[in-house]
Amino acid sequence: MSKRKVTRGATGAVVTVLALGALQGASAAGDDSESKERAASSASPAAPSKVCVGTQPEGRLPSWGPKGSYPDDTPLYRVLAYIDKTTKAKAKGNGNGNGNAYRDSFTGWSVDDANQAANVYRIPGKDADQLDADLCGAAEQGVTIRLYDTDVTEGELKKLHGRISGDMGRWKGTFMIWTVGMTSHSVNVGVSDPEKAEPILREAYGEEAMRHVTIERSEQPTILLPGK
């Protein structure tokens, strides 16, 4: 019997972990020394298409949570909160609660703490131009926003993540899929044997989908039981 455990990271990234047998716990940890071998890379943007530096006064944007409750209430994290809120905002006139203003262009975002920068991934076009202008115009002083071109939406990545997560035990006996995670612009798949997995996954999901998948070697996750 196997169970899939879904966890969510600080940036909203979804990670699915396969837990074998009756092991259940609060979290799962992999062996970092063994889990970083890469067999195939997604089409990751090599350089940003645009870069802007914030000009707004410090403190102009609201913090991520109630004032004083968020430990990283800094210009960078206030800009990240604005990016997150803006890309989730409902389209004007959309009263049914479905979709958002940038659902056809937005891919994801990530943070570069060391360089006080936010990386935003989106599909070029009219919507992206509007998003770029909004984010760059709102950024506080000292914060850099890097804008990367992609050809996939966040919704498409979520669907691909869901498809692969649903197949985690499908190829047991040939290789195991231990983890499936979604980054700002791709889906990461941790497997027991990348060389065996790569051609099988490529055949199962197609060349187009696999351009957005990174396959890495991963050991069986360790399930940490509560109180251990």
Average pLDDT for 57-65: 86
Query: Per residue in 192-226, pLDDT tens?
Result: 999 999 999 999 999 999 999 999 999 887 665 56
Position with higher pLDDT, 106 vs 33: 106
Q: List Cα–Cα distances, 213 to 53, 71, 88, 160, in angstroms.
A: 31, 33, 24, 9
Looking at the predicted structure, is the pLDDT value of residue 6 above 90?
no
Per-residue pLDDT, 67:
61
The answer on pLDDT for 99 being more than 60 is no
Domain boundaries, the chain: 2-43+153-224, 50-149
| DSSP H helices in the chain | 75-88, 126-138, 154-166, 194-205, 207-210
Instruction: Say what percent of the chain tops pLDDT 70.
Output: 70
Residue 1's pLDDT is what? Answer: 43
Average pLDDT for 77-84:
94
On the CB side of 113, CA atoms within 13 Å amount to 3
In the predicted model, what is the mean pLDDT of residues 110-134? 95
pLDDT score for 64: 72
